[in-house]
Amino acid sequence: MELGIGIGWRPEIADTVERLPGLDWVEVVAENVCPGHLPDSLARLRERGVRVVPHGVSLGLGGAERPSPRRLADLAARAEALGSPLVTEHIAFVRAGGELTASPALEAGHLLPVPRTRDALAVLCENVRIAQDSLPVPLALENIAALVAWPGEEMTEGRFLAELVERTGVRLLIDVANLHTNRVNRGEDPYTALDELPVEAIAYVHVAGGIERDGVWHDTHAHPVTRPVLDILAGLRARVAPPGVLLERDDDFPPPEELAAELTVIRETLSTAGASAPVRPAPRKPAGTSAPSAPPGDGATDAEGTTDAAAGPPAEGATDAAAGPGADAAPAHGTPTGAATDGARARVGIAQASLLSALVAGTPAPTGFDVARLRVQSRALVAKRAGVVARVAPELPDILGSGYRPAFVAYARFRPLRDGYRRDALDFAEHLLAEGRPDDEEARRRLTLWWTERAAPEPPRRGARLVHAVRRVLVGAGR
């Protein structure tokens, strides 16, 4: 199935995307579209014959729990509404804890790496099979960027992906920017990964920009694509002609001509790649981690991975666990399923809950992890969370001004995300008000009104809104 050259569709650049010359297809974040109310821009693109592929971020197929039937049904509905030829997701976990580990449920709000162990592979393969059986179109899975490495890993990324494909027949979405990120942050050779993974299973390729700061690469999707990423794309093209290549841009959107120019460079890179791979740069060792910097902007190491969330209080106990050598290797064509994976699920679940609790709830770092890198990842998660809350509740940074971000970071440090970002915004406001903040009386009055209008058990009806409007006038007059 040939896709061609595409770009990630985002509401902020919808008009620009419609005008881009030679555009073959677009990708949308699945959780950001409603099947019954598709944006007019996507409808117009579809009428022109531009394919639309939903890209999910919240299934958590690499997690220890079996995938949620509701989330799978939602993704299937989006694929059908968009007439999509396939759907894509990530090799990642986004939540942990809960009944499986007898600990509070936790949400990352971000894509986190799966340990490359036999246990984790067995769990992932069963989850992929469940997803494949639930979806109306083929599934492809993306390799993610990672800042931290699991101790005791048993496979390289390429071998892990190869075994996943062999056992499930799933397609691959290879993100060459994520391969570059893992080269800088984890010392992994992207060209070795390309040699080891089954390139014939590639459904399409992601290309994105980022920035390096103090030896740490941040896959921001908010900067131009760099030459090292394009070199990896050329190396991939020397091995196989990918059915599709897509440019991701999620923030700090440039003028239309710059986006068009980046697509042109991608086309030129593919057309001139040649029959042999380019000269391979030596693999990089991860930079020293004694004092790595916090990520720029929203701080996301992988910008696209903002997930929907429903989280509980901090996990307790089980903080020394890390995924080490697990179950014996499963036969290449006989991945364990059902009860046969229960032991692996329990071991992976404890390890993932331990890591996520350290990242979002301040519990001790699991044994074997780089503590400095965990601190950077934890700050990145909080910074990204602050950015998402600011987008879903823009009144908060407007009311709090420059005090918004430091106040949110202090609030979120030991308070894991629960029940989604809109609930998080309300909890943050309630926390400030309970402490008698903000200090400015007018800002506190505005925050009180904002919280009151949204925290009622039911959405305010028209009459209630009129009462609130009168109250605002009276409060203002009384001052």
Closest CA to 88 of 161, 173, 3: 173
What's the count of helices (H) and strands (E) in the chain, helices before strands? 16, 12
Place of tokens 């509980």: 312
Residue 76's identity, in one-letter code, is: A
CA 31 to CA 77: how far, in whole Å?
A: 11
- The answer to whether 140 and 171 are in contact (CB under 8 A) is yes
Q: Cβ contacts of residue 382 below 8 Å, gap of 6+? A: 299, 408, 409, 412, 413
Predicted local confidence at residue 276, as pLDDT: 53
User: DSSP per residue over 229-283, as a string?
Assistant: HHHHHHHHHHH---SEEEEE--SS---HHHHHHHHHHHHHHHHT--SSPPPPPPP
Closest CA to 370 of 242, 186, 142, 209: 186
- The answer to whether 422 and 393 are in contact (CB under 8 A) is yes
- Residue 55 β-bridge partners: 29, 88
Residue 305's identity, in one-letter code, is: G
Could you tell me the two tokens for 380? 């990145």
Backbone phi and psi for residue 166, each to the nearest 5 degrees, phi listed first: -65, -40
CA 408 to CA 390: how far, in whole Å?
A: 10
Q: Please state, as a whole number, how many other Cβ atoms lie within 10 Å of the Cβ of residue 395.
A: 15
CA 362 to CA 385: how far, in whole Å?
A: 16
Could you tell me the two tokens for 342? 């229960």
Write out residues in the chain with pLDDT < 70, as ranges.
Answer: 274-337, 456-479
- In this structure, the strands spanning 4-8 and 25-29 are parallel
First to last CA, the chain: 66
Closest CA to 170 of 67, 91, 94, 233: 91
The CA angle 167-173-174, to the nearest 5 degrees, is 105
- The answer to whether 191 and 174 are in contact (CB under 8 A) is no
Q: Supply the DSSP symbol for 401.
A: G
Residue 317 class from Cβ within 10 Å (0-12 exposed, 13-18 middle, 19+ buried)?
Answer: middle
Predicted local confidence at residue 83, as pLDDT: 96
Closest CA to 9 of 49, 48, 39: 39
Q: Please state, as a whole number, how many other Cβ atoms lie within 10 Å of the Cβ of residue 213.
A: 13
CA 79 to CA 340: how far, in whole Å?
A: 31
- The answer to whether 85 and 119 are in contact (CB under 8 A) is no
User: How long, in residues, is the chain?
Assistant: 479
Predicted local confidence at residue 122, as pLDDT: 98
Single pTM value for the model = 0.83
Backbone phi and psi for residue 95, each to the nearest 5 degrees, phi listed first: -150, 160
Cis peptide bond N-terminal to 438, omega within 30: yes
CA 147 to CA 217: how far, in whole Å?
A: 8
- The answer to whether 393 and 427 are in contact (CB under 8 A) is no
Residue 384's identity, in one-letter code, is: K
- The answer to whether 246 and 225 are in contact (CB under 8 A) is no
Backbone phi and psi for residue 206, each to the nearest 5 degrees, phi listed first: -100, 140
Q: Read off the pLDDT of residues 83-107 as tens digits, 9 standing for 90 and up.
A: 999 999 999 999 999 999 999 999 9
- The answer to whether 203 and 173 are in contact (CB under 8 A) is yes
Predicted local confidence at residue 462, as pLDDT: 46
CA 251 to CA 221: how far, in whole Å?
A: 7
Could you tell me the two tokens for 266? 């991608």
Q: How far is CA 171 from CA 84, 132, 258, in A?
A: 15, 11, 31
Predicted local confidence at residue 341, as pLDDT: 86
Backbone phi and psi for residue 141, each to the nearest 5 degrees, phi listed first: -120, 140
Closest CA to 315 of 377, 361, 275: 361
- The answer to whether 301 and 219 are in contact (CB under 8 A) is yes
- In this structure, the strands spanning 211-213 and 216-218 are antiparallel
Q: Read off the pLDDT of residues 133-171 as tens digits, 9 standing for 90 and up.
A: 999 999 999 999 998 999 999 999 999 999 999 999 999
